[in-house]
A = this chain, B = another copy of it.
């Protein structure tokens, strides 16, 4: 999670996108690390989690990331939760929640990962609130920036 947070700080420092980072781990080894590049790429699909998944999948040569876990600084939006599901990632470990980010002005769908999992009958396990304070500080740091942009 420390590396996911570092990623997010690097992303906002350069104005690449929102204050979000993700890391995918398999057997104790980091497969990929990524931050949100919606503004850099002008591409609404390039969240931290989807980018981390694309990079890890390319590295392993398959869409199937069974046996992996993903650390994400904030609870995955429904797009990213669903991408994790399609990738067969075992578990999402996250810090802050969608509601925390919605308050900052992002155009979030108001659907929690717990709801996505239950309604969608997904096997993805969820562990929220991990290193929550450090992830909150990241959001606060972004919120205090003068040149911040929501999307």
**Out of B54, B77, B121, which one reaches A82, CB within 8 Å?**
B77
- Which of A38, A42, A87, A109 counts the most B-chain CB atoms under 10 A from its CB? A109
In Å, the complex CA distance between A78 and B54 comes to 18
A120 to B111, Cβ gap below 8 A? yes
Residue in chain B with minimal CB distance to A49:
B45
- Interface residue tally on A, bucketed by range: 35 or more
B43 to A57, Cβ gap below 8 A? yes
The reply on A133 being an interface residue by CB < 8 A is no
Residues of A at under 8 Å CB distance from B? 38-39, 41-46, 50, 53-54, 57-58, 60-65, 77-79, 81-83, 85-88, 107, 109-111, 115-116, 119-122, 151
**Out of B44, B64, B86, B121, which one reaches A45, CB within 8 Å?**
B86
- Measured between beta carbons, the chain B residues less than 8 angstroms from A88 are 107
B42 to A53, Cβ gap below 8 A? no
Besides A44-B57, A78-B79, A109-B120, 7 other A-B contacts (C-beta < 8 A)? A38-B86, A41-B57, A44-B53, A44-B63, A45-B86, A78-B78, A110-B121
